[in-house]
Amino acid sequence: MNEPNDADKKLELLLDRTLRKLPLRCAPPTLEARVFAELARRAALPWWRHSFAHWPRAARTVFVLISASLGGLALLGGAWAVAGLASMRVLRQFSEFAVTTAGLFASLVRAIPAAWLYEGMAAATVLYVLLFALGATAYRTLYLRA
């Protein structure tokens, strides 16, 4: 049962010794120049363009305090809006409106012949497939042109 592990270990050691004997390869000059230029560009960015972890401590603290304050205000505003309902009358009227609208929509859907619904779904499917085919064709034409 240990034989496969031993063979793998021997192969790993042989490969490691062989690769360590090879000379190190230098990066192409153009790649090296581009990498250093990108590093310099990123180093020159202002602090607010870096990730949050690289912001100064004071800026992070102020940001967290402002975010927490806005979140608290949002929660208080929601609680105030719920508590501001004088009675459940507004909620009852809204639910009656929603039920009436749903009933109207259901009767409109029942009035449409089933064949029309199936044909509409088939047409939508065909258009959806054509959209992807057109996108793939445009991608191949514009970006894979060699």
- Predicted confidence (pLDDT) per residue in 110-141, tens digit: 898 989 999 999 999 999 999 999 999 998 88
pTM for the full model? Answer: 0.38
27-38 pLDDT, tens per residue? 888 998 899 999
Whole-number pLDDT of residue 87: 55
Whole-number pLDDT of residue 1: 47
15-73 pLDDT, tens per residue? 999 999 999 888 888 998 899 999 999 889 998 888 888 899 999 999 999 999 999 88
Residues 66 and 133: their CA atoms lie apart, in Å, by: 47
Domain ranges of the chain: 87-146
CB 85 within 8 A of CB 91: yes
